[in-house]
Amino acid sequence: MRHRISDWDNAYANGINIPQGDRWPAAWVEPARLYRETLSAAGRARIGLSYGERPRNRFDLFLPETDPAGLVVFVHGGFWIGLDNSYWSQFAKGSVERGYAVAMPMYTLAPENRISGITVEIGRAIEAAAGMVSGPIRLIGHSAGGHLVTRMISATSPLPEAVRGRIVNTVSLSGVHDLRPIMKTKMNEKQRIDTEEAYRESPALLEPLPGARVTCWVGAGERAEFVRQNALLSSIWKGLGAETEAVEEPDKHHFTILDGMADPAHPLMDALFS
């Protein structure tokens, strides 16, 4: 059956389309605080590390009990206009228990920043974290963060060559990989995406770096646009030589899709560490 989207705001609206969806992101605040406090008390958390001069150029670093086997970088969502890294700390648990250090940066939000500027900031955050932790790098991001981590492995990545060469895998959770539809939403009054920026900053409209590996992971119960965006990047980049996979996790929506990150034995963690 043919279908045409007429309400783009609703197509990308998560909370109002999920039963009790207004619980999030507040439901994450206390678990995140407890995780930070627990690891800080154990001497395994470094909070508010600087990677730049702007107030939000900071990242938290969570450490395993032994020397890190490598670095995971998690980039948070919020449609580039909201939230910060303090909501997501507990989702470092799965990677930390697999023996990796986990960096969680925040970044200057729109409208103070453009998406192209956020891309640069995340590149600097990854570079700073990579300078502190040796070994392979694995990237994972949620929603807008999914856009940002796949942007890091696109041909025009802001990362220096030495850091690019250490990235062994990327997972985009409910990622937005084509920015053009976002231009049709009211959010764009803050994001200020124009056609030129959409083409320059959309991973689905760019080529992947040589050797890129990416899993596009989405909840089967998410809005149709997130499911489409998930399949889109996997399909396009596979045709451009990347190693890709698209996964729809049953019974998950845009917020519960993150739960697997807290469980070292979850299939999502298997995908990240493959």
Q: What is the DSSP string of 177-243?
A: ---GGGGGSTTHHHH---HHHHHHH-GGGSPBPTT-EEEEEEETTS-HHHHHHHHHHHHHHHTTT-E
pLDDT of residue 114: 97
C-alpha–C-alpha distance, residues 230 and 220, integer Å: 11
* Pick from 244, 180, 251: nearest CA to 218: 251
DSSP single-letter state for residue 208:
B
> Can you point out the beta strands (E) in 113-179?
137-142, 167-173
The domains located in the chain, with CATH, are 8-272 (3.40.50.1820)
What pLDDT is attached to residue 193?
A: 98
In this structure, what DSSP letter does residue 18 have?
S
Angle at 203 between CA 197 and CA 207, to 5 degrees: 110
- Specify the residue for token string 């900071």: 58
Rounded mean pLDDT for each run of 10 residues along the chain, 274 residues in total: 85 82 87 97 98 97 97 97 97 98 98 98 98 98 98 98 98 98 97 97 98 97 94 98 98 94 98 97
CA separation for the pair 256, 25 (Å, rounded) = 11
**173-207 residue pLDDT tens:** 999 999 999 999 999 999 999 999 999 999 999 99
Q: With the C-alpha atoms ordered 88, 263, 138, 79, is the resulting torsion angle positive or negative?
A: negative
Question: Are 146 and 219 spatial neighbours (Cβ–Cβ below 8 Å)?
Answer: no
Question: Helices 115-130 and 144-152, interaxial angle, to 10°?
Answer: 60
Measured in degrees and rounded to the nearest 5, phi and psi for residue 99 equal 95, 10
